[in-house]
Structure 1
Amino acid sequence: MTYFGIGVSTAVAAVPATLDLAVQVDRAGLDLLTVSDHPYHADRLDAYAEIGVLLGRTERISGLVSVTNLPTRPASMLARTITSLSALTGGRIVLGMGVGGLWDDIARLGFTKLSPGQAVRAFEEGIRLVKMLGGGGGPVTFDGEFHQVTDLVPADEAMPPVWTGSVGPKSLAVTGRVADGWMPGHAADWLSERFRTSRPVIDEAAVDAGRDPADVVTVYNFPGRITTTPLAKTRADDGRWIGGSPEQWVEELTGAVLEHGAAGFVLFGPGGSTPDAESAARWAGEIVPAVREAVAK
């Protein structure tokens, strides 16, 4: 499957427009709605409160917190949140998980500030524990360095795929060992140096763990302009995608799937902004169907 999604705002001031956009892209047939998780900002919505309401307003599209700020959300409770959302929506949820990066902000919320090494170890423990707490089975006891549960019965609801936003080599290796997908950081794409140097770390770790690297899909946050006429250049001098006409987008994304193994794309506006309604309509109504058709051939 190739996933096509859209990133929506978490701003409190943008709530009416965000609700309208979610309904619009759901009706248009997109696969994913994504929101970020920055609970230390008072002008931002709580990510899981937002995704729950968006899923309640929609019928087909899945939700993804890209990515969950794990240091602020204990893994056992995160597992309960995710399996609950899955049960409530008929499985319309993907679990995104991150190491946590803005540690001064995280500490202001009252959570313990971890060193980079500790954060990565807590990240891997968190993914392992979350995966144990869905799909039924006997009670789970987990005595980790950072996460502990005792005789905790897993939810009967299956745990959805876990995608990460890993950036550093140690967290990339965690993704290869235990995750199901990767969303490259800093809007890196399949032609970027970051991708070329990062994806082999995931693949090597997957092989070392006895996994098939292909089981860890790559889904890209992909910002750019959708223009009415073709652009002379669709990429900047540094190689970053600028955008272009729908036909230029279709050519670029089809090549990404067929030639580079891309498993999905989440649209953002220029600079990572929320796409406006017109861009969302062209994305969902023109670009995505054409890429799906081209890939199917």
Structure 2
Amino acid sequence: MNRATFLARSGYGARVEVGFAPPVSGSWATPECMIHVARRAEQLGYHSLWTFQRLLVPADLGWSETYHSVQDPLTTLAFLAAHTTRVRLGVAVLNMPFISPVLLAKQTATLDILAAGRLDVGLGLGWADEEYQATGVSKHRRGQRAEEFLAVLRTLWQDDVAEHRGEFYQVPPTRLEPKPVQRPHPPILLGGQAPVALRRAGRLADGWVSGSQADLTGIGEAVATVKAAAAEAGRDPGALRFVCRGAVRVRPTGPPDREPLTGTIEQIRSDLGRLAEAGITEVFVDLNFDPEIGSPRADAQASLRRADEVLDALAPTR
């Protein structure tokens, strides 16, 4: 294997792309660090940059330190769109229950224009009770609401005159202008690990994106579930994208019972190759989930130096 080119191929022959996550969590999530990492990733040939959403954290800070201080994902991508020219820009993921599909359609259409057609839209349902309560929404029938959300989003992006009369959303005959650059719309990737969420991605989305807590040793089963649902819906499973958040933790040594993507650079390269063999079509390296980097207590400049080392070590060859 030549560095991180990952010529391993999925069951449908798709080449595996390699992305990187800019600083969005902790002390290193500054404008200067964001620009540095984004530009360096683009120069080194990385395929994409990915952010994530966290609205709040409990007052007792009981969650992982990665979630204690997080920048807004769409605002960050708009900022990075102005400092890059080629690399794709994705969010993994925005939580649909916390926002109106009409507002999101406008925001993402604008962002796709600002980014010259480079946007990937990852969507999910969220898991934090505190965020549900604070945004005033219920988890009741959130799956059904999400499916209607997608229908509204697509009609606003695609149709000259959008109209929707549903159980959860009512959109009178209206126009959303300007439209996104990408036609018919920016790619939609759905998150979630439960079987119902995986099947929803296969039926309705352009692909699936794994979360930070996904069991990477069994990710091939999740890919297979999504593909099976796509085939049952009469869709081409080979056209779907399978994006994995690589919560990478580089360490001097990796214990025999180490988790995937934790260990030495060579071990991590091998792990990425195995993800490709499991059907993943894109992996993005995310150091924000390393407690030594994505923490408010970490030294920002030390985190940036470590990111530079990883960027160089795992850079895709062109």
TM-score range relative to shorter protein: 0.7 to 0.9
Q: TM-score w.r.t. structure 1 length? A: 0.81
SS state at 1:37 partner = coil
SS state at 2:82 partner = helix
AA aligned opposite 1:156: K
State the alpha-carbon separation in 2 of the partners of residues 143 and 234 from structure 1: 56
Q: CA RMSD in A?
A: 2.8
State the alpha-carbon separation in 2 of the partners of residues 160 and 270 from structure 1: 25
State the alpha-carbon separation in 2 of the partners of residues 6 and 161 from structure 1: 18
1:138 partnered with 2:163: no
Deviations 1:70-110 (A, max 9, x none): 1122112111111111111111210010112213323213x
Q: 1:50 to 1:270 in 2, by over 3 A?
A: closer
1:48 partnered with 2:62: no
AA aligned opposite 2:119: I
Q: 1:234 to 1:215 in 2, by over 3 A?
A: farther
Deviation at 1:162, TM superposition (A): 0.8
Partner of 1:250: 269
1:241 partnered with 2:268: no
The answer to whether the 8 A contact 1:66-1:165 is kept is: yes
The answer to whether the 8 A contact 1:104-1:113 is kept is: no
Gaps of 5+ in 1: 293-297
More helix by share: 1
Partner of 1:65: 91
SS state at 1:60 partner = coil
Gaps of 5+ in 2: 1-14, 58-67, 295-302
162-171 vs 182-191, greater mean Cα deviation: 182-191
Deviation at 1:49, TM superposition (A): 1.6
The answer to whether the 8 A contact 2:49-2:88 is kept is: yes
Deviation at 1:232, TM superposition (A): 6.3
Q: 1:80 to 1:248 in 2, by over 3 A?
A: same
The answer to whether the 8 A contact 1:40-1:106 is kept is: no
Partner of 1:295: none
Partner of 2:24: 10
Deviation at 1:264, TM superposition (A): 0.9
Q: How does 1:151-162 map to 2 (within 5 A)?
A: 151-154=173-176, 155-157=178-180, 158=183, 159-162=185-188
Deviation at 1:113, TM superposition (A): 1.8
AA aligned opposite 2:45: G
One of 125, 128, 132 as aligned partner of 2:151 = 128
The answer to whether the 8 A contact 2:91-2:122 is kept is: yes
SS state at 2:280 partner = coil
Deviations 1:244-292 (A, max 9, x none): 23x44434433433x33221111123854557334433444342325x7
The answer to whether the 8 A contact 2:120-2:187 is kept is: yes
Deviations 1:88-136 (A, max 9, x none): 1111210010112213323213x22222xx111111222232222224x
AA aligned opposite 2:138: K
State the alpha-carbon separation in 2 of the partners of residues 148 and 89 from structure 1: 30
One of 202, 207, 211 as aligned partner of 1:185 = 211
AA aligned opposite 1:32: S
State the alpha-carbon separation in 1 of the partners of residues 311 and 261 from structure 2: 19
State the alpha-carbon separation in 2 of the partners of residues 87 and 72 from structure 1: 24
Partner of 1:215: 239
Deviations 1:166-216 (A, max 9, x none): 122222221111111212234436532xx2443333222212211122222
1:114 partnered with 2:158: no
AA aligned opposite 1:188: A
State the alpha-carbon separation in 2 of the partners of residues 283 and 160 from structure 1: 29
Aligned residues: 279
Percentage of pairs with the same residue:
22
AA aligned opposite 1:113: S
State the alpha-carbon separation in 2 of the partners of residues 187 and 4 from structure 1: 19
Partner of 2:62: none
SS state at 1:57 partner = coil
Deviation at 1:57, TM superposition (A): 2.1
Q: 1:107 to 1:129 in 2, by over 3 A?
A: same
